[in-house]
């Protein structure tokens, strides 16, 4: 095997399985393993070019006759929150965000389990153990970080910030031109906060402060109500056969 062949990724295709987003359809994925011997620039280009990362696997939809899954990224510098988003920011003024290394904790896992049990008890992550969670966080060859959101208590002056109640967590990758939101979870019974929306808004602001042009949100899936929220963040670009293209709002 030549040095060039060693560094070039090998791709594989999964067998067909029921699609978790569109009833009656089947899904397949094209995937490759991310290893330390692969050039970081190559991995970066994969993640900017429509692949998503799950631990040390990069994957993308490879479904026969279906192109519903579309990669989405927000144009950070031109984004301005609407009225409802500004209300979400106001409701969460008591939250303090903290960037931490991709190191799992028992506190994070407890919040993760509460979220999964309340919101996704019938999903693919329902049986995840503390070891599975640790691998999800730690198993990465790219620049991965966590953002912890803690609620400032009334007695905040008497305590350290890291002891405040953990309300939400986002797992993200730092790419050369943006931040890719890999997975997020939050206190499931704090519905009035709209924490999922808040974390996206907060990461848009963080990317802007870093001078990064894009926030990657993964796939928008036409026909899936679960993914319809992603079209709220404008302006945004979708990845098509001719590259990234700006699309009109509310597509």
Note the pLDDT tens digit of each residue in 89-109. Answer: 999 999 999 999 999 999 999
pLDDT surpassing 50 at residue 123: yes
Q: What is the pLDDT of residues 136-147, one digit of tens each?
A: 999 999 999 999
Would you place residue 125 in the very low, low, confident or very high pLDDT band (cuts 50, 70, 90)? confident
C-alpha span between 150 and 107 (Å, rounded): 12
Antiparallel, parallel or unpaired: β 29-33 and 166-174: unpaired
Reduced to 3 states (helix: H, G, I; strand: E, B; else coil), residue 60 is: strand
Domain ranges in the chain are 3-68
Tell me the chain's radius of gyration from C-alpha atoms.
Answer: 19
C-alpha span between 105 and 169 (Å, rounded): 11
Residue 183, beta-bridge partner list: 171
Task: Supply the mean pLDDT for the chain.
Answer: 92
Query: What is residue 130's DSSP assignment?
Result: H
Angular region, 148: left φ>0, alpha ψ -120 to 50, beta rest: beta
Interior CA angle at 188 toward 186 and 193, to 5°? 75
How far, in whole angstroms, is CA 132 from its chain's centroid? 17
Helices assigned H by DSSP within 49-194? 83-91, 106-119, 130-138
CB atoms within 10 A of CB 66: 17
The answer to whether 52 and 219 are in contact (CB under 8 A) is yes
pLDDT value, residue 248: 79
pLDDT value, residue 201: 98
Q: Residue 215: enclosing H or E segment and its boundaries? A: strand 214-221
C-alpha span between 96 and 156 (Å, rounded): 11
pLDDT surpassing 80 at residue 156: no
Is the pTM higher than 0.75? The answer reads yes
pLDDT value, residue 152: 87
Residue that is written with structure tokens 């969460």 in the block:
92
Indicate the Cα dihedral angle 195, 133, 140, 202, nearest 10°. Answer: 10
pLDDT surpassing 80 at residue 7: no
C-alpha span between 11 and 16 (Å, rounded): 16
Q: What is the pLDDT of residues 183-233, one digit of tens each?
A: 999 999 999 999 999 999 999 999 999 999 999 999 999 888 888 899 999
Interior CA angle at 177 toward 176 and 182, to 5°? 85
Would you place residue 251 in the very low, low, confident or very high pLDDT band (cuts 50, 70, 90)? very low
How far, in whole angstroms, is CA 1 from its chain's centroid? 35
């Amino acid at each position: 095997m030549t040095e060039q062949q060693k560094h070039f990724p090998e791709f594989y295709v999964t067998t067909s399985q029921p699609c978790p987003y569109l009833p009656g359809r089947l899904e397949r994925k094209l995937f490759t393993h991310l290893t330390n011997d692969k050039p970081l620039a190559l991995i970066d280009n994969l993640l900017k070019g429509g692949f998503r990362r799950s631990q040390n696997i990069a994957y993308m939809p490879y479904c026969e006759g279906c192109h519903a899954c579309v990669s989405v990224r927000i144009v950070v510098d031109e984004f301005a929150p609407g009225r409802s988003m500004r209300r979400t920011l106001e409701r969460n003024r008591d939250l303090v965000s903290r960037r931490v290394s991709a190191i799992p904790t028992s506190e994070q896992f407890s919040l993760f389990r509460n979220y999964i049990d309340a919101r996704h008890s019938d999903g693919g992550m329902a049986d995840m153990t503390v070891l599975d969670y640790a691998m999800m966080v730690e198993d990465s060859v790219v620049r991965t970080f966590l953002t912890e959101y803690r609620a400032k208590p009334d007695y905040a002056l008497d305590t350290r910030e890291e002891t405040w109640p953990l309300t939400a967590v986002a797992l993200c990758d730092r790419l050369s031109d943006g931040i890719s939101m890999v997975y997020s979870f939050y206190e499931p019974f704090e519905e009035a906060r709209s924490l999922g929306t808040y974390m996206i808004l907060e990461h848009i602001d963080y990317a802007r402060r870093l001078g990064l042009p894009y926030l990657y949100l993964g796939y928008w899936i036409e026909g899936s109500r679960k993914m319809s929220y992603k079209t709220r963040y404008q302006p945004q670009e979708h990845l098509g056969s001719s590259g990234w293209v700006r699309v009109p709002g509310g597509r």
